[in-house]
Structure 1
């Protein structure tokens, strides 16, 4: 592998938009560029106006269509194919295609890599099967539609072998498996997700590489001093994320209602913003639950310094950027998804017995009544504070690129 490579990232989220995937992508792109690599990002337009970036190629979105998070939808149309091919021709040699999503732009990345005979690396970190089963209004129809649309562009010739999935889950897994099988290398942020893919027949090399946080940002925030626990005030809980059903912000508000000796600060926006405001008002919780709206990553990390714990109500994250941010800032975590125990350091958090509001409230109440546990949890997290640094993970990503570049080339038939 050459000392410097040109990487084409394909993502269904514009880098200027907010979200965990976007935050992780920006940290990786910046660190790669800081090491002398060249990065070009292919993505949808951002809602509203953004400053033009010469290293970002905007693909054409479908008029009137939006994803569940409100962001534009890109399909692998002929027009986008011509746009991508022209950009490849104009920008010189592209060494690696790295697809970060499995939707329209991610599919376009797979197809572009095939056309130009370039190795492709696929990052997989979406638990679509769980999200669709639990939170789609019409799970079967949603899973079937995704499977048919994805299969039209990236066919999967082999049936998933995992017998533990129900009808909806099998359909939801098909696009993920097909995207992985169409790639040369697969990157996942956690071991548990790697096991899930392998169990369902993915036989491409799977590399476990965590997402990361920009080093300079962490250094700047840590210079402000260490966080403290105020044992005389109400327990200060923080919730951060997209206000959408799978993140469960309404459940977080209900948890706060049941734990009287507790305040809750909610950071983020999304399709449930109106319902979130109404839930706070209906429960007469304006004095204890505060909605801060959209904030950038620096503001979120700074807020973590002034809270006692992170309340993580999501039960379908693969890793969760907010979880990495809490670890980096030494903020104890209350969570409910057993899969996240891989990311929460031992003794750095408390997992509720189950995802129910009642169970989370019981866990939070116990901490509110015994604040002495919090300093010990912070101390446990301190030993892991540098693990989310992006610099620790970029080297591993570059090693995956090197492996993809030096491996024997597969034919298109081998990839499906």
Structure 2
């Protein structure tokens, strides 16, 4: 794409907050800006007093949060007026890119349709798995999301269920409706592209990996590489949001079962108190260290001084922490078969299943055989530059170009805003 474009990114995560979605979004935003494109981000407010830059438009949120801690932004008339005023003041907007499927993502779809702007939708949330396995009330949660989303972005017809149970069918319907309302769909992995298509999405689907900011990688890699620890305890690292679907409590239980290892935990979230209690109750203060929320650069530096990433999540589509480990040459111990698409061959170990016992078995084997970790580092070195955002930004721009050049797609979900 030769000409500069103005991209409106809609996301349910403020850029100043921490998390995999946020780091991927910031990398995309900054990568586009370095190439001379303008990016305006529409998002909910950040917790506390985190500042917003001049190119961020904060949308009003309700005084409650979703079960995963996300602020709740509803596509109300007030939200619509705020977006339309920003479009008028900051426009023209060439393309809308929605990164989420909740309130802000819905608002992006509706704004694009109001203004006749092409819409690209990124899909990377495995809501069906997260709701079914980790919601305290799976059916009620899935039904509520389906009804609320369907009110704003209705979907005609009954999509194929691909053998899903009723909770999965309800959880998939908002995802399908959101994708069908877009002109182009982006997913980070081939396996998720197949799942999206199997559930009835007939929009053009493009597989484009998430990326890590090039300048950040170059800065962190300036230090001398850390060698595999051959003497003391195995140095394991866990990094992510302290929430049920990321399974930090399971990671601590794994560390309890493997005496010849230490575990450093980076992250914050709703399970922070339970994580602290689990460490104290198991008397693991000498082997498990909790570092709280840290920036992406600190997480990358920490990866250089550890032997293995303990990735206990079983519902990531790709996982930024996995890309970060790849870039830092840190071997990965994981359990989700679908992540094998991202983990380079011989660059990690997959546990037999998601159980704590399976993780502990593999971690004990790695503690006994440090040579295998050295071999994994060598395998990862060949792929260290693949997560760079510059390797993927042109693919994103190609999707934008297709959406800008293509005739308007017909059918699918329609965003009728009358009386809403």
- TM class, shorter-length: over 0.9
1:153 aligns to 2:165 (yes or no): no
User: Counterparts of 1:16-415 in structure 2 under 5 Å?
Assistant: 16-63=16-63, 65-411=64-410, 413-415=411-413
User: Cα deviation per residue 1:66-116 (whole Å; 9 max; x = unaligned)?
Assistant: 123433210000000001011111112100000000000000000000000
User: Cα deviation per residue 1:158-204 (whole Å; 9 max; x = unaligned)?
Assistant: 21213410010000000000000000000000001000000011000
User: Cα deviation per residue 1:228-249 (whole Å; 9 max; x = unaligned)?
Assistant: 0121110000000000000000
SS at match of 2:49: coil
CA contact (8 A) 2:312 2:334 kept: yes
User: Cα deviation per residue 1:233-291 (whole Å; 9 max; x = unaligned)?
Assistant: 10000000000000000000000000010000000010000000000000010000010
1:12 aligns to 2:15 (yes or no): no
In structure 1, distance between residues paired with 2:361 and 2:45: 43
How much does 1:50 deviate? 2.2
CA contact (8 A) 2:127 2:172 kept: yes
CA contact (8 A) 2:183 2:403 kept: yes
Over the residues paired in the alignment, what is the CA RMSD in angstroms?
Answer: 0.9
How much does 1:415 deviate? 4.2
How much does 1:343 deviate? 0.5
In structure 2, distance between residues paired with 1:410 and 1:117: 12
In structure 1, distance between residues paired with 2:145 and 2:51: 32
In structure 1, distance between residues paired with 2:226 and 2:413: 49
Unaligned runs of 5+ in 2: 415-420
Q: Which runs of 4+ in 1 moved over 6 A?
A: none
CA contact (8 A) 1:269 1:293 kept: yes
How much does 1:2 deviate? 5.7
Aligned residues: 414
Unaligned runs of 5+ in 1: none
In structure 1, distance between residues paired with 2:413 and 2:137: 31
TM-score, with structure 2 as normaliser? 0.97
In structure 2, distance between residues paired with 1:386 and 1:179: 32
CA contact (8 A) 2:120 2:183 kept: yes
TM-score, with structure 1 as normaliser? 0.98
In structure 1, distance between residues paired with 2:35 and 2:241: 32
In structure 2, distance between residues paired with 1:282 and 1:414: 53
CA contact (8 A) 1:99 1:120 kept: yes
In structure 1, distance between residues paired with 2:16 and 2:152: 27
